[in-house]
C-alpha cells in the first residue's frame, strides 16, 4: 500500500467520526442545512474558506502563475477584496433578514421578494451551473491522483463521490462545517509545507528576488498572457462570487451572532490572503526554477502541480496530494448540500430533511456520472459556472437597492442572463470584442431594469 493510501485511510476515518458526531438533533431543515444558525465565528470562517477555495488553488492557480505570471495573483486578490467589500456591507443585512424571516436557502430571500417561481428557476440555474463544476473538480482530482500513482482515476472519482455524499448525508451543514474546518487548516498547512520545500530546493543558495527577474514580462500586467480584456472577463464573475454562488451565500445565515459573523468575514479574509500568496508564490518560484534549469519546463499549465508532486519526497507528496483532495471534497460537498436544500425546498416545496438526504445521494450520483462519462461540454459548462451565476446578481442587489420588479422581472432576468452566457460561450462569440461574462452582466442588468418597468 502506498503512502497516500495510509494517509487517505486516516483522513476517511477522522472525517467520518466528525460527521457522526455532528448528527445529533438534525430533525429540522434549519438544523440540517444551516446548523440551527449556531455556528461559531472560527468554524464559519474555516467552512467559508474551505468551500470557496477548491482544488483550483493548488492545481489551477499554481499553473496559472507558472504560465502567466503575477497576473494570477491580481486575479485572485481582486476576488478577495471584492468579497471583503461585499460582505462587509451585505453580510450583516443578509444575516439579519435570514434570522428575522427564517430563510434557509438563498432562494427563500428571492422567493419573498420576487415570487416562488423565481426561486424555482434559480434552483434550476444553480444546478446547471454547479453540477458540471463539481464533476470537473472530481475529474481534476482523479487525474492528479492517477498521475502521481496515489490512486487510479476510477477509484479517485469513486472515493470522492462516497465522501461527498457520506459526510453531507450524515451531518448536514454541521458535519460539513466541522470537516471543512479541519480540512481548511490542513490545506493551509500543506500549502505552507509545499512552498517551504520548493524554496529550499530552488533557492537555498540563490536569492529568489534576484533570480525572479528572469521572468521578465511575466512580472507585470498587462502582458501577453493577461491582456486587460482577459483579466476583466475572468475577474468580473469572481468579484461578485460572494453574492452569486449559493453555497457561500447560504453560509451568511449560519453564524450564531453578529460578532461571529464579523469574525467569519475577517478570518476568511486572512485565510484567503495567506493561501493566495503562498499558492501564487509556488507558481512563480517553479517558473523561475524552470528558467534556471532546476525544474522541468511544463507546457500544460494543469500539469505543473502533478510534476511538482512527483518530485517531492513520498510522504510530503502524499500529504500535499491529500490536501488537494480535501480542497475538492470541501467545495463539492458544500455545493451538493446547498443544491439539495434549494431543490428540495425551492423546487419541490418540501420541508422534510429526508428529501434533502435523498437529493444528496441523487446529486452525487449525477456528479459521478458526469465525471466518469466526461462529455466534452462538461469543461465548458464548469468554466462557465461563475458566468451563468452572474445572471442572479441583479435580483440579489435588487432586494437591497431597488423596489421595482416581481415575478416577470425575476424570471426574464435569469433566462436572459443564462441564455447569453450559454449561447456566447458555446458559439465562441464575442460581439464587439467583449467576452461572454461581461455581456452576461450587461444583459442581465438591462433586462432587469427594463422588465421591472412593466412588472409591479
Partner 1 sequence: MKLLEGLAIIAAMSVPFFAIKSHDMSVYLYWTAVTTAYLIYITIKRW
Burial class (CB in 10 A: 0-12, 13-18, 19+), 214: middle
Of the residues 19, 221, 396, 421, which one makes contact with partner 1 according to CB under 8 A: 221
Q: Is 25 helix (H, G, I), strand (E, B) or coil?
A: coil
How far apart (Å, rounded) are the C-alpha atoms in residues 165 and 144?
Answer: 21
Query: In terms of C-beta distances under 8 Å and separation of at least 24 residues, what long-range contacts does 344-349 make, across chains too?
Result: 345/29, 345/104, 345/105, 345/107, 345/108, 346/105, 346/107, 346/108, 346/111, 346/116, 346/119, 346/120, 346/122, 346/123, 347/120, 347/123, 347/124, 349/116
Q: x-or-dash pattern for partner 1, window 274-293, by CB under 8 A?
A: ---x--x---x---------
Paired with 39 in beta bridges are: 255
Of the residues 222, 313, 354, 375, which one makes contact with partner 1 according to CB under 8 A: 222
Beta carbon of residue 304, minimum distance to partner 1 (angstroms, whole number): 18
Beta carbon of residue 221, minimum distance to partner 1 (angstroms, whole number): 5
How far apart (Å, rounded) are the C-alpha atoms in residues 3 and 78?
Answer: 38
Beta carbon of residue 319, minimum distance to partner 1 (angstroms, whole number): 26
Beta carbon of residue 379, minimum distance to partner 1 (angstroms, whole number): 29
Paired with 255 in beta bridges are: 39
Q: Is 175 helix (H, G, I), strand (E, B) or coil?
A: helix
Count residues contacting partner 1 (CB under 8 A)?
33
429 binds partner 1 (CB under 8 A): no
Beta carbon of residue 280, minimum distance to partner 1 (angstroms, whole number): 8
Nearer to partner 1, 277 or 361 (CB): 277
Paired with 226 in beta bridges are: none
Buried b (16+ CB within 10 A) or exposed e, 144-157: bbbbbebbebeebb
Closest CA to 110 of 453, 448, 416: 448
Burial class (CB in 10 A: 0-12, 13-18, 19+), 361: middle
Nearer to partner 1, 39 or 70 (CB): 70
5 binds partner 1 (CB under 8 A): no
Phi and psi at 204, nearest 5°, equal -65, -35
Query: How far lies 339's CA from each of 122, 332, 345, in Å?
Result: 11, 10, 10
Positions in 320-359 near partner 1 (CB under 8 A): none
Positions in 64-103 near partner 1 (CB under 8 A): 70, 73-74, 77-78, 80-81, 84-85, 88-89, 92
Nearer to partner 1, 74 or 314 (CB): 74
Positions in 354-373 near partner 1 (CB under 8 A): none
Extract the C-alpha cell encoding 157. 472519482
Nearer to partner 1, 219 or 362 (CB): 219
Beta carbon of residue 209, minimum distance to partner 1 (angstroms, whole number): 6
Of the residues 10, 102, 216, 354, which one makes contact with partner 1 according to CB under 8 A: 216
Positions in 223-262 near partner 1 (CB under 8 A): 228, 231, 262
- Residues engaged in binding partner 1 (CB under 8 A): 70, 73-74, 77-78, 80-81, 84-85, 88-89, 92, 209, 212-213, 215-217, 219-222, 228, 231, 262, 265-266, 269-270, 273, 277, 280, 284
Amino acid at each position: 500500500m502506498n503512502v497516500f493510501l495510509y494517509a487517505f485511510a486516516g483522513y476517511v476515518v477522522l472525517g467520518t467520526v466528525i460527521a457522526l458526531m455532528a448528527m445529533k438533533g438534525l430533525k429540522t431543515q434549519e438544523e440540517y442545512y444551516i446548523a440551527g444558525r449556531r455556528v461559531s465565528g472560527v468554524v464559519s470562517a474555516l467552512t467559508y474558506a474551505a468551500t470557496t477555495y477548491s482544488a483550483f488553488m493548488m492545481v489551477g492557480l499554481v499553473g496559472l502563475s507558472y504560465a502567466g505570471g503575477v497576473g494570477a495573483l491580481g486575479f485572485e486578490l481582486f476576488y478577495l477584496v471584492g468579497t471583503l467589500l461585499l460582505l462587509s456591507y451585505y453580510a450583516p443585512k443578509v444575516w439579519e433578514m435570514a434570522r428575522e424571516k427564517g430563510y434557509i436557502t438563498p432562494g427563500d430571500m428571492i422567493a419573498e421578494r420576487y415570487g416562488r417561481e423565481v426561486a424555482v428557476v434559480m434552483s434550476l440555474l444553480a444546478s446547471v451551473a454547479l453540477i458540471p463544476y463539481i464533476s470537473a473538480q472530481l475529474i481534476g482530482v482523479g487525474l492528479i491522483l492517477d498521475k502521481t500513482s496515489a490512486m487510479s482515476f476510477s477509484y479517485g472519482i469513486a472515493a470522492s463521490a462516497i465522501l461527498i455524499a457520506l459526510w453531507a448525508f450524515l451531518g448536514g451543514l454541521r458535519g460539513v462545517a466541522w470537516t471543512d474546518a479541519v480540512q481548511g487548516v490542513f490545506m493551509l498547512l500543506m500549502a505552507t509545507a509545499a512552498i517551504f520545500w520548493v524554496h529550499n530546493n530552488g533557492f537555498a543558495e540563490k536569492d529568489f528576488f534576484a533570480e525572479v527577474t528572469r521572468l521578465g514580462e511575466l512580472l507585470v500586467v498587462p502582458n501577453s498572457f493577461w491582456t486587460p480584456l482577459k483579466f476583466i472577463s475572468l475577474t468580473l464573475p469572481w468579484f461578485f462570487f460572494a453574492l452569486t454562488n449559493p453555497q457561500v451565500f447560504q453560509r451568511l445565515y449560519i453564524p450564531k451572532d453578529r460578532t461571529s459573523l464579523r469574525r467569519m468575514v475577517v478570518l476568511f479574509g486572512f485565510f484567503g490572503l495567506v493561501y493566495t500568496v503562498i499558492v501564487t508564490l509556488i507558481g512563480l518560484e517553479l517558473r523561475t526554477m524552470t528558467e534556471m534549469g532546476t525544474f522541468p519546463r511544463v507546457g500544460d499549465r494543469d500539469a505543473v502541480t502533478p510534476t511538482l508532486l512527483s518530485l517531492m519526497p513520498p510522504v510530503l507528496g502524499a500529504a500535499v496530494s491529500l490536501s488537494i483532495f480535501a480542497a475538492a471534497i470541501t467545495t463539492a460537498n458544500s455545493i451538493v448540500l446547498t443544491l439539495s436544500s434549494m431543490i428540495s425546498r425551492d423546487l419541490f416545496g418540501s420541508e422534510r430533511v429526508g428529501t434533502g438526504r435523498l437529493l444528496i445521494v441523487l446529486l452525487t450520483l449525477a456528479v459521478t456520472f458526469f465525471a466518469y462519462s466526461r462529455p466534452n461540454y462538461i469543461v465548458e459548462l464548469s468554466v462557465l459556472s461563475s458566468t451563468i451565476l452572474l445572471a442572479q446578481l441583479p435580483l440579489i442587489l435588487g432586494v437591497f437597492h431597488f423596489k421595482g420588479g416581481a415575478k416577470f422581472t425575476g424570471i426574464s432576468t435569469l433566462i436572459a442572463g443564462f441564455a447569453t452566457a450559454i449561447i456566447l460561450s458555446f458559439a465562441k462569440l464575442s460581439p464587439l470584442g467583449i467576452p461572454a461574462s461581461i455581456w452576461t452582466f450587461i444583459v442581465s442588468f438591462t433586462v432587469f431594469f427594463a422588465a421591472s418597468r412593466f412588472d409591479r
